[in-house]
Structure 1
Amino acid sequence: MEYLSRAIEETILQSEKTFKCILVTGARQTGKSTMLKKLFPEKKYVPMDDPFIEEQAKEQPHMFMMLNTPPVIYDEVQRVPELFRYIKLKCDETQARGQFCLSGSQPLELMESASESLSGRVSIIELAGLSMREMKGDSFNLPFVPTMAYVQERSKTAAAFENIWKIIHRGSYPELQNPEVEWSAFFSSYIKTYLERDVRKLSAVQNLNDFRKFMVAVAARTGQILNYANIADEVGKDQTTIKRWISILEASGIVYLLEPFTSSVLKRAIKTPKVYFRDTGLAAYLTRWLTPETLANGAMSGAFFETFVISEILKSYSNRGIDYRYCVSYYRGKDKKKGAESEIDLIIEENGILYPIEVKKGTSVSADQTSAFTVLDQIPDKKRGMGAIICLCPIPGALRENILKLPVWYI
């Protein structure tokens, strides 16, 4: 299949010129190795998941480094964390940039090793699955924010998909963009590889079938507030185990935990994160929604659409090298006046301005569905900016002076 250009390439090329070492992290099969080999064909490529290479690097790291000198690409480097100290020494021997290009599918574990050994020498970059923009070959690269300036710029290249549910159901892994790759066979193999390699590596899970059952339980709750006790009851494990297993899914890029918006003013706000699968195709496979049609019309369609939208927004930030964890959150709490719970699906914070987002899978939406946005007016040191409902409407429009409705492909 022809190589699909990635939006983050510009960030990687710039980092390679600025830092001695770059580290590209992300879930399995997001295209890290393919992209690095395409961007740096002159660098030697060393795959650490080759058993012989892994053994050599672990048992004789000094000799291994002598035989595989920079500039070099070390793929799946998390398999040999012992190398980080030797990479640091090599970086310190020269002022040359772009000496090491590292990749790995265990972001949090890698970041800890890299931050300890390579502080000030490494640029850590997250590669997610393909975004809608990348699937369309759209070069638009601004991070999503619901402002008029953004919408006007986005309208120059935004193009609708013939059937967005096919995209949501198939998922964002690059290999699945080849229509000849069978959907269920891909994910069956993906989960088997993930369980046997990453899960065993990250935690001493005795029974992989129990972990598979746990993955299904979490996938069935994508877009929901994370309830450890509820999952523990369904899987038959204690909450401590479930919390540890959630951290494994998060560390290996399978799920994202969206933290709640915190403010001393909002005393009735829920303080538990929401859980989102990063790839809707994988979540659909685990929960047995076997076709786009059944998914679009099923009981979980709203949760899947929200999961897809949140994932696309996060990609628009990570593809610019922006750490979105510090600028996105959600809100759910009780309204004192109404006595009912209200929710804002996503809040994007930028320069002290809070942009509230609601996600609806329908084509027809109304300003009444954004009544919770006014809770942000209570925050004394912040300003509420333009809000938006992201939905399946055909074109952008204004619901009120400060509320937009936007088609999902405008992300």
Structure 2
Amino acid sequence: MDYIKRDLESVILELSQEYACILVTGPRQVGKTTTLKRLMHPDRTYVSLDDLEERSLAKKDPALFLQLHQLPIFIDEVQYAPELFSYIKIAIDHGAEPGSFWLSGSQAFRMMSLAQESLAGRVALLHMSSLSQHEIYGEGKQAPLSIELEALKKRKPAGKQADLYELYERIWKGSLPGLVSGKYTNRTVFFSSYLQTYIDRDVTDLVPGINKLLFSDFVRAAACRTGQMLNVHDIASDVGVSADTAKRWLQILEKSDVIFYLRPYSNNLLKRTVKTPKMYFFDTGLVAYLTKYSSPEILANGAINGAILENYVVAEIRKSYHNNGEECLLWYYRDKDCNEVDLVIESDGQLHPLEIKRSVNPGSELIRTFSVLDKGSVPRGKGAIICMRPELSAIDADNYILPVWMI
């Protein structure tokens, strides 16, 4: 089993030279602990709050906890002892050296809110998701996706070409390190255990006494609607819970980084845009497991083949930004006249429209809706169709054809 180098490593090391505290958040089992341990020097103390004795001390007497453990320190699963944050702030204010505190946690919303409340201006916040296709199959350093010709040309040598079925094998397998690295070989057992551990540890921590079987059914119902505009009532009726319960449970999934939303783009000049977000899962392998697709070939020809491809593309674009420590301004567009653009990247004062298609030879008619963005106050930049074309191409000078394997 080989370690897979993470693109975020260089960012962590660079920021550790500037910030006294680094906080790495992300879903469960995406490699936060493994990566930070690999980057540690021998003089850094490692403490996991999975250890109940350490957790108890950190919660009851955080000052003593920090006195007992020498700096620099890596505190893993720090979400279990939020009491530490105020004392870390005190240590930083008293002159803690850059890189003194490395923290990791799997409840991103909770961690970020605690950090912003207690450590505002003192902590570098980083998000780690599951492995990107560049980390798994590519080489070299990968920049955030930019829809500019020279930037796109530089992406080609960093990726690994994949045809339709090779790509759906990537989608079906997913990108969690435990499976990709070969540590675990039984995919069904892996995802079943992953889901059970997530519910037993994260969900019950957020909502004690929750009906675990019903929540598991709820996650499956949500997975069936990945890549679609969110319809809370439909998901609720599938499982037999109220819409209010479904909303609360969706918040749990979002807070623990299992799902994320793509918000609709709008501004004061675009009055007729819809307000409903689209929902995606952080890992397409988990979606394929939850929706009972037993092979990549069946998935490639199944009912959700377009939606799960869109999920894959959106997730990979987000990773390309997060892995460089950058914010991703990513939207979708849909108005009440049914004009729709799958993705809109806002970058350098421009809007870059993107369409995602399973086709190898997409037609020029797909870019016609891009012009709806011209009505807004932010100028439209270059656009692209992300599809199964094997090589980078173009429809015209302002609209490119980008292979999925290059993102």
- The TM-score range, normalised by the shorter chain, is over 0.9
Structure 2 equivalent of residue 215 of structure 1: 219
Q: Secondary structure at the match of 1:259?
A: strand
Amino acid aligned to 2:170: I
Question: CA offsets per residue over residues 307-347 of structure 1, 9 Å max, x none?
Answer: 000000000100111121xx110011134xxxxx1210100
Amino acid aligned to 1:104: G
Structure 1 equivalent of residue 171 of structure 2: 168
For residue 207 of structure 2, the aligned residue among 185, 203, 206 is 203
- Residues 1:281 and 2:285 aligned together: yes
Structure 2 equivalent of residue 108 of structure 1: 109
How far apart, CA to CA, are the structure 2 residues paired with 1:205 and 1:226? Answer: 26
For residue 294 of structure 2, the aligned residue among 285, 290, 300 is 290
- Residues 1:370 and 2:373 aligned together: no
- Residues 1:123 and 2:124 aligned together: yes
Amino acid aligned to 2:121: G
Q: 1:91-106, aligned counterparts within 5 Å?
A: 91-106=92-107
How far apart, CA to CA, are the structure 2 residues paired with 1:295 and 1:258? Answer: 23
Structure 2 equivalent of residue 23 of structure 1: 23
Amino acid aligned to 1:81: P
Structure 1 equivalent of residue 380 of structure 2: 384
How far apart, CA to CA, are the structure 2 residues paired with 1:311 and 1:131? Answer: 9
How far apart, CA to CA, are the structure 2 residues paired with 1:247 and 1:177? Answer: 28
Post-superposition shift, 1:137?
4.2
Structure 2 equivalent of residue 249 of structure 1: 253
How far apart, CA to CA, are the structure 2 residues paired with 1:270 and 1:213? Answer: 29
For residue 303 of structure 2, the aligned residue among 278, 299, 306 is 299
Question: CA offsets per residue over residues 209-257 of structure 1, 9 Å max, x none?
Answer: 1111110111000000011111122122222221111111111110111
Structure 2 equivalent of residue 404 of structure 1: 400
Count of residue pairs the alignment pairs up = 403
Post-superposition shift, 1:157?
2.9
For residue 333 of structure 2, the aligned residue among 331, 334, 339 is 331
Bigger drift between 170-179 and 314-323 goes to 170-179
Q: Give percent identity, aligned residues only.
A: 43
Is the Cα contact below 8 Å between 1:346 and 1:357 reproduced in 2?
yes
Amino acid aligned to 1:52: E
Is the Cα contact below 8 Å between 1:160 and 1:409 reproduced in 2?
yes
Structure 1 equivalent of residue 180 of structure 2: 177
Amino acid aligned to 2:178: E
TM-score normalised per structure 2 = 0.96
Q: Secondary structure at the match of 1:17?
A: coil
How far apart, CA to CA, are the structure 2 residues paired with 1:155 and 1:136? Answer: 12
Is the Cα contact below 8 Å between 1:329 and 1:347 reproduced in 2?
yes
Structure 1 equivalent of residue 351 of structure 2: 354
Name the CA shift for 1:219/1:205 in 2 (closer, same or farther; >3 Å). farther
Is the Cα contact below 8 Å between 1:84 and 1:117 reproduced in 2?
yes
Post-superposition shift, 1:121?
1.2
How far apart, CA to CA, are the structure 1 residues paired with 2:24 and 2:159? Answer: 28
Structure 1 residues not aligned, in runs of 5+: 336-340
Q: Secondary structure at the match of 1:388?
A: strand
Is the Cα contact below 8 Å between 1:205 and 1:211 reproduced in 2?
no
Structure 2 equivalent of residue 236 of structure 1: 240
How far apart, CA to CA, are the structure 2 residues paired with 1:68 and 1:161? Answer: 48
Q: Secondary structure at the match of 2:13?
A: helix
Amino acid aligned to 1:345: D
Question: CA offsets per residue over residues 71-129 of structure 1, 9 Å max, x none?
Answer: 01000000111111121122222241111100000011011111111112111100011
Bigger drift between 53-62 and 79-88 goes to 53-62
Name the CA shift for 1:205/1:333 in 2 (closer, same or farther; >3 Å). farther
Name the CA shift for 1:99/1:279 in 2 (closer, same or farther; >3 Å). same
How far apart, CA to CA, are the structure 2 residues paired with 1:178 and 1:93? Answer: 42
Q: Secondary structure at the match of 1:331?
A: strand
Bigger drift between 248-257 and 87-96 goes to 87-96
Post-superposition shift, 1:404?
1.2
Post-superposition shift, 1:2?
1.5
Post-superposition shift, 1:62?
2.5
Post-superposition shift, 1:205?
4.9
Structure 1 equivalent of residue 339 of structure 2: 342
Is the Cα contact below 8 Å between 2:350 and 2:378 reproduced in 1?
yes
Bigger drift between 179-188 and 109-118 goes to 179-188
Amino acid aligned to 1:375: V
Amino acid aligned to 1:212: S
Is the Cα contact below 8 Å between 1:269 and 1:331 reproduced in 2?
yes
- Residues 1:12 and 2:12 aligned together: yes
Amino acid aligned to 2:303: A
Q: 1:65-104, aligned counterparts within 5 Å?
A: 65-104=66-105
- Residues 1:33 and 2:33 aligned together: yes
Structure 2 equivalent of residue 135 of structure 1: 136
How far apart, CA to CA, are the structure 2 residues paired with 1:268 and 1:146? Answer: 27
How far apart, CA to CA, are the structure 2 residues paired with 1:256 and 1:73? Answer: 27
Post-superposition shift, 1:190?
0.5
How far apart, CA to CA, are the structure 1 residues paired with 2:206 and 2:225? Answer: 23
Is the Cα contact below 8 Å between 1:5 and 1:137 reproduced in 2?
no
